[in-house]
Structure formats: C-alpha cells, structure tokens
A and B are shown apart, each in its own frame.
Chain A
Amino acid sequence: MRRLINRKPGRAAALGLGLLPFVLVVIAYLFGSHTRLQDNPADKLLPPPAVMVDAIERLALEPSKRSGQRLLWADTAASLQRLGLGVGLSALLGLVFGVAIGVVPHIRATLGHFLVVLSMIPPLAVLPILFIVFGLGELSKVVLIVIGVAPFIMRDLAARVAELPRELMIKGQTLGASTWQIITRVVLPQLWPRLIHSVRLMLGPAWLFLIAAEAIAATDGLGYRIFLVRRYLAMDVILPYVAWITLLAFLFDWLLQKWARRAFPWAEPAP
C-alpha cells in the first residue's frame, strides 16, 4: 500500500473530486429547503430554486417600476465601475510608489515605515471620515477601496523589487543604464506579472470594501441591493446576488491569471 502522499487521482477522478463539494452544497441546500417548506410553506429563509429564478428574471429582465432600470444590470454596472476605478487607481499608485520605494534608497528611507503604519489603519474605521470629507457619492466609495488596497500593493511591489537579484541591477548598470532606464527596462517589465498577481490577491478585500460602502450609503449597487432587500428577508434575491458576485470575482481572477500567462511567457506561472 503506497503512502497517502504518493497516491494521486487520475484526470477524471480529479475532476469528479473537484466538483464533489459543489454538488454536496447544492444537495444540502435543496434538502434543507425542501424540509423547511414542508413544515411551513410560507418559509422565506431557504427559497426553492424556482422562486430564485423568478426573482432574478424580475430583476434582470423587467424594468423597475420606480426607476425604469433593469436592476440587476444597473446594480452590476454601478458596482463594477466603483470596483474598477478603485482597483485600477490602487494598481497605479501601487506601481508608482512600490517601484520608487523599492528602487530609490532615499525614498525607501522616507516612506518605508510610513507605508507600513498606513497599511495598518483599518479602512472601515476611516469610512465615516471619508463620508464626511468626500460626501456620500461615488468618490468616497472609490477612496475606501484605494485606502484599503493600495498600501498593500505598494508594500508587495516594493518587496518584489527588493527580491530582484542584485546581480541584475549591477548588470543593468554595466550596460550603461541610468536610474530611469533601470526602472523602465529592468524593473518595470519584471514587475508586471507580479502586479497582476498582487491585484488578484487584493480583489477579495476590494469587494469587501465595496460592499461595505454600498451597504452604508448608496442608491444602487450589488451591495446596496442585498442590504436593502434584507429588510424583507428576501433570500430569493440575496442568494442569487451573492452567487453573481462570487461568479464575477472568480471570473476576474481567472481572466487576470490567463492574461498574465499569455502576456508574460517568461515568468514563472503564479498559482
């Protein structure tokens, strides 16, 4: 009998095993829903699939009576705009400061410790300040994502720059490179795949900050909708929305990974 650590599933078995937890969760849900509805047909906690499909059809296809919008798509567009702006801005700031701190010792001495302290501020604790300073509009939500995400991307990229072999920095200089040329031809190109990896890791927190901000003060957005319908115990809306958010998050992660593999064939594939 071979050791457990040496026994690997085949292709088909691996696929089956990978699907198993999903199937089990669905079965458990259907079972729970069925049981509860038998006890009390008016139960709202675990609605059957047909009710959820109805709710989604209503939200995705029928214009809302109040605003005339198809709410699912309007919410998705609003949320993705905030998320995209927040994450995009964070990536840009992360790249600029991460490279500056990683490459230039004087900037590292100036900002290194400050950045560590900055990244330790709990972003949700400053959310009230953001609402006071930037108002309840789009800006405060984007800023919350930036405050929560950018410092970590900066720190991560600065650390990645420091990890580049010293030999390469010296080699660049022996090829006549100035500081600017070291940054643009040696450091930045090697940092792109790491930036993508860093953004992938921070997408989870970015969603967290987005939904938190939308839950507290918004008039549309995926997070807003979930917290709005919570008042009516509308699990038939909440559960599909959560699934939709999860699907979007998974899709972005997958796309970023594909892009990194295709665009940077020389890099070690990130997990």
Chain B
Amino acid sequence: MKSFEVRNLWKEYGDQVVLERVHLALTGNEFVTIVGASGCGKTTFLKMLMGDEVPTRGELLLDGEPLPTEPGPDRGVVFQRYSVFPHLTALENVMLGLELRQAPLAGRLFGAARTAVREQAAQGLAAVGLQAALDKYPAQLSGGMQQRLAIAQAVIMRPRILLLDEPFGALDPGIRSDMHGLILDLWRQGDMGVFMITHDLHEGFELGTRLLVFDKVRDDPQAPEAYGATITFDIPLQRRPPPDVMEAVRRATAPAGAPS
C-alpha cells in the first residue's frame, strides 16, 4: 500500500459507541501493531478494515480510494482460528485463491493451468516451511503449522494489506518467535502493509513500525456505553535492521585490523 488514511471514524451499535474519532494517516508499507484492553474496539476496527463491518461515520481510504465495504482479494486476513479450509489439503488451500481468480465459473483449474498454479502454491508453502506437508489436511497439522498455512494462503494473493487478528495468540512462545521472523520476512519481501492485533505488548513493540493503542479517553461510570475508544497512542517505532544488514554495517564500521 502507498497510503492509508482513517478520517474521523465512528462505530456505533444502537446507543453503544464502540469507536469514536479515530484518525490515522500512514504512508508506505507500515507494519502496524494494535494493542488495547479487551473490548476496546480493536477487533471492530480490524473488521472494518476487512469489510466485515461498516463504519457508522467516517472514511477509510486505501491509496486514496474508499475501502470496499465487503472483503476482497486486496486485503488478506489471518485469524487466530478457522483461517484455513478443513476440507482442503495444505496445497489445495493455497491453490484455492489462484484457482478462483482464473476460473470464475468452475472455481477449479485443470491441465497445464492447474500444474502452474500447483507449482506456485508449492513454492508459497515452501516459503513458510511447509514443503513437507503439502498433502496434509489442516486437522493433521499443529497449531503453528496451520497458521503458517493461513499466512501462505493469504500472502500468495499479493494483497495490499495483510490483516492479522491475534494470529499467534494460541501458539507456544518458542513457535511464536519463529513466526515473528517469518511474518517480518514476508512483509519485507511483499509490497504490502500489515495490521496486526496482539494482546502481547512485547510482540507489538518487537514487530511493528508503528504501535497503536486503543483506549477510552472519556468514561462515564453511569453510562459505560456512552463513549467509545479511540487511538490514544500512535507510536512510530525504530526498527532494528535485519540481521544481514546489521552484520554488513558492523563490518563496514569495524576498525581496521580488528577481528571480524
């Protein structure tokens, strides 16, 4: 994405205000991490980005255009659960989006077209480390592998935005740090922005180029639903360069004669 803008966004359900006066302006492919207490509207915000919910007031602009009010291939998504199709193997899950694009009526490809898509999907799976699980059904994969699959399935569509709703929330800490490396690699390689909800503040700081905190600034104890949450902190983060760049910089700046 080149730019992303949120202009005075409100979301209300009847009398209940969930989000109010949300403003945001991004340029370039930022990695936005979103944190906040539960019930602060961060999931509602993400749902409006993916087109599952419609704003009550305000505008969402992607590259200057209003965001479509239904989900589409320009925005990929990975949920915490139910992100992959249980009736398709890993390979078929990743092939699906490519097949749907090329075969509007049949929804599936045959012959050479299928072979090409199959090859592309296998590469996508290899990129997330699932080359050994091509023909496994999701139920046969571990939680971490299922999320890798979901990410591969979303990224192969080359979306302009990737939306992640606590994608690593259910994973073990060790696996989670592997996934951090994976998602950062994919983000750097692809031409896409990332919005990621997390309840892990550390994760938010480590991954993001921008950290958003959703919270209520006004609160009426007599009427807790009268005011909604908004972005209370919008923190640009200094990103550590990737390891190979760090190494190159270290070598270049090392004094002559010092052991490299």
Contact = CB atoms under 8 A, between A and B. Distances in A.
Interface of A: 165-168, 170-178, 180-181, 184-186, 189-190, 264-267
Interface of B: 50-52, 70-73, 75-77, 79, 81-88, 96-97, 99-101, 104-105, 107-108, 137-139, 150, 153-154, 157, 159
Contacts of B52: 166, 170
A190 B85 CA distance: 9
Contact of B87 (A177, A178, A180, A189): A189
Given A167-B82, A185-B96, A175 B157 contact: yes
A175 B97 contact: yes
A167 B79 contact: yes
5 contacts: A171-B84, A178-B100, A185-B100, A189-B88, A267-B86
Given A167-B81, A170-B50, A190-B86, A185 B137 contact: no
A180 B196 CA distance: 30
Contacts of A267: 86-87
Contacts of A175: 73, 96-97, 100, 153, 157
A166 B83 CA distance: 10
A84 B87 CA distance: 28
Question: Residue among A166, A184, A185, A265 with the most chain B CB within 10 A?
Answer: A185
B73 A174 contact: yes
Given A171-B77, A185-B96, A265-B137, 20 more contacts: A168-B82, A170-B77, A171-B79, A173-B51, A174-B75, A174-B159, A175-B96, A175-B153, A176-B72, A176-B100, A176-B157, A177-B100, A178-B100, A184-B107, A185-B107, A185-B108, A190-B85, A190-B87, A266-B86, A266-B137
Nearest to B106: A184
A174 B154 contact: yes
Contacts of A171: 77, 79, 82-85, 150, 153
A165 B83 CA distance: 9
A267 to B, nearest CB: 7
A181 B73 CA distance: 14
Q: Which of B81, B82, B138 has its CB near the most chain A CB atoms (within 10 A)?
A: B82
Nearest to A192: B87
Q: Which of A170, A171, A180, A189 has the most CB of B within 10 A?
A: A171
A177 B107 CA distance: 8
Given A173-B72, A175-B96, A180-B105, A167 B83 contact: yes
Contacts of A172: 85
A181 B224 CA distance: 43
A176 B107 contact: no
- Output the residue of B75, B100, B139 with the most chain A CB within 10 A: B100
Contact of B85 (A168, A174, A264): A168
Nearest to A173: B71
A172 B97 CA distance: 8
A186 B71 contact: no
A221 B73 CA distance: 56
B247 to A, nearest CB: 37
